[in-house]
Amino acid sequence: MLGNLKDQPADKILMLMASYREDPRDDKIDLGVGVYKDPDGNTPIMSAVKKAEERLLKSETTKSYTALSGDPAYAQAMRELVFGETGAADRVAAIATPGGTGAFRQGVDLIRMANPGATIWVSAPTWPNHLSILKTTGTPFVEYRYFDATTGGVDFDGMVADLNSAKEGDVVLLHGCCHNPTGANLTADQWHRVAEILLERKLVPMVDLAYQGFGDGLDDDAQGTRILAETQPELLVGASCSKNFGIYRERAGILFAIGDASDTKTVQGNLNHLNRQNYSFPPDHGPRIVTTILNDPQLRAEWQAELEEMRSGMLALRKHLADELRQRLNDDRFDFIARHRGMFSRLGVDADKVEAMRRDHGIYMVGDSRLNIAGLNARTVPILAEAIAKTCA
Ligand code: LMR
């Protein structure tokens, strides 16, 4: 039986992580996987997280099972973080999931149960694992135009034209903020226009919100999701706490399914069923850290301040890199890096240039020229700018 298995295509991001580790050069620079690094190159545990864990260690009296959907207090705290005051709670069903990937996978399974004929529309490009999960589950998908490599911005006319050809009941996957891999995001006006198209064509939006707080701030980054929650009859949202709480390995995510209030009980039952079928109970330690922080004003303020420091640090690095490139190249070709938001920017250079930067300068970025801004620091920005100028000019 096992001999029948074929090798799986390697995950490009994880493969890059492995080759970075194996590279013996001392001056190598990791701009691959989306993990936040401080100026010393560490991924520290946030102090609010440490304090929440200490509190949990003292106060927890059991490790018995929670609910199939996870701890209800987590769902409530996350609902408020993601949706703010928007939307009636009686329309929202939710399950805790192993990270944002788990939320996406459960969302895809839910779509397949509810409407097996639906095609999922994904941005060109999108996070490679979206595509891999859609392929693995045999879910039909097509791409809509999104990134304009010549401007480094969003090809909004192309996106609108493509979404206007979707059929009723199709699902449109949108990145809530900090688009991965490009860093190019919709404006509030564009979110409103997308909301109109979704309504007109009776499409169902699915939002992947993996970087709330890394772009323009916690509320601003949820703005698109909240516009959809206010305007759409149905909406799926997968949110991750991996990045904004820095608890990657704890696997804290959540899937929200918003629909007609009369359907909520059945939707919740289906979500619980999906958890039961796939892994029974979702991870609990990460969600409990998140709930502890969000429900304690002092810890929450401390977390927000730390998150804000990370966010403003990434913005400063963006500006620094764009400035260095403008000086070296004497043109504004890469100015879009300063306009992008979140962890990533896509440089828009060919794979052979990306490979040359890895080979000649020890700089690791994903083959599509996505770089993790948070992997940089004030010392490495000029090194990267020099490598880009030498390789791509
Ligand atoms: C990334 O895009 O680098 C992150 O979301 C990590 C991952 O799992 O791919």
Per-residue pLDDT, 393: 77
Work out the burial of residue 156: count CB atoms within 10 Å of its CB; fewer than 13 is exposed, 13-18 middle, 19 or more buried. Answer: middle
Q: From CA 151, how far away is CA 4, in angstroms rounded?
A: 47
Question: From ligand 1's centre to the CA of 215, what distance in Å?
Answer: 16
Could you read off the pLDDT of 35-94 as tens digits, one per residue?
999 988 899 999 999 999 999 999 999 999 999 999 999 999 999 999 997 667 899 999
CA of 154 to the centre of ligand 1 (A): 21
How large is the average pLDDT for residues 360-383?
A: 95
Residue type, 342: G
Q: Which atom of ligand 1 is nearest to the CA of 100?
A: 5
Strand-pair partners of 148 = 153
Catalytic: which of 94, 103, 127, 162? 127
Catalytic residue selected from 155, 208, 221, 368: 208
**Whose C-alpha lies nearest to ligand 1, atom 4?**
34
The H-or-E segment that residue 129 falls in is helix 128-136
- Please, what is the average pLDDT of the chain? 96
Domain boundaries, the chain: 11-46+300-392, 65-295
Report, as an integer, the average pLDDT of 203-229. 98
CATH architecture for residues 65-295: 3-Layer(aba) Sandwich (3.40)
* CATH tag for 11-46+300-392 (out of 3.90.1150.10, 1.10.150.120, 3.10.310.10, 1.10.3720.10): 3.90.1150.10
Q: Do the beta carbons of residue 369 and residue 353 sit within 8 Å?
A: yes
3-state SS, one letter per residue, for 176-243? CCCCCCCCCCCCHHHHHHHHHHHHHCCCEEEEEECCCCCCCCHHHHCHHHHHHHHHCCCEEEEEECCC
Q: Which of 243, 303, 322, 385 is catalytic?
A: 243
Best of 17, 33, 247 for a ligand 1 pocket test (most atoms within 8 Å of beta carbon)? 33
The C-alpha atoms of residue 168 and residue 317 are separated, in whole angstroms, by 43
Residue 12 — very low, low, confident or very high, per pLDDT cuts 50/70/90?
confident
**Is 37 considered catalytic here?**
no
User: Cβ-count burial of 79 within 10 angstroms (0-12 exposed, 13-18 middle, 19+ buried)?
Assistant: buried
Out of 210, 229, 322, 374, pick the active-site residue.
Answer: 210
How far apart are the C-alpha atoms of 286 and 304, rounded to whole Å? 17
How far does residue 61's CA lie from ligand 1's centre (Å)?
34
Residue 29 has pLDDT above 80, yes or no: yes
Closest ligand 1 atom to residue 372 Cα is: 3
- Which atom of ligand 1 is least distant from the CA of 11? 9
The interface pTM score, or ipTM, of the predicted complex is 0.94
pLDDT tens across 158-187, in order? 999 999 999 999 999 999 999 999 999 999
Percent of the chain with pLDDT over 70: 99
Q: What is the pTM for the complete model shown?
A: 0.96
Rounded Cα distance, 14 and 386, in Å:
26
What is d(CA 211, CA 214) in angstroms, rounded to the nearest whole number? 5
Residue 287 · residue 297 · CB < 8 Å: no
Report the relative pairing of strands 153-154 and 147-148 from DSSP bridges: antiparallel
Tens-digit pLDDT profile for residues 122-161:
999 999 999 999 999 999 999 999 999 989 999 999 999 9
Atom of ligand 1 nearest to the CA of 242: 5
Measured from CB, residues less than 6 Å from any atom of ligand 1 are: 13, 33-34, 127, 129, 180
* Residue 94, helix vs strand vs coil: strand
Residue nearest to ligand 1 atom 1, measured at CA: 34
Judge whether 208 counts as a catalytic residue.
yes
* Close Cβ partners of 127 (under 8 Å, ≥ 6 residues apart): 175, 180, 181, 208
Q: Please give the structure tokens belonging to residue 191.
A: 């979110």
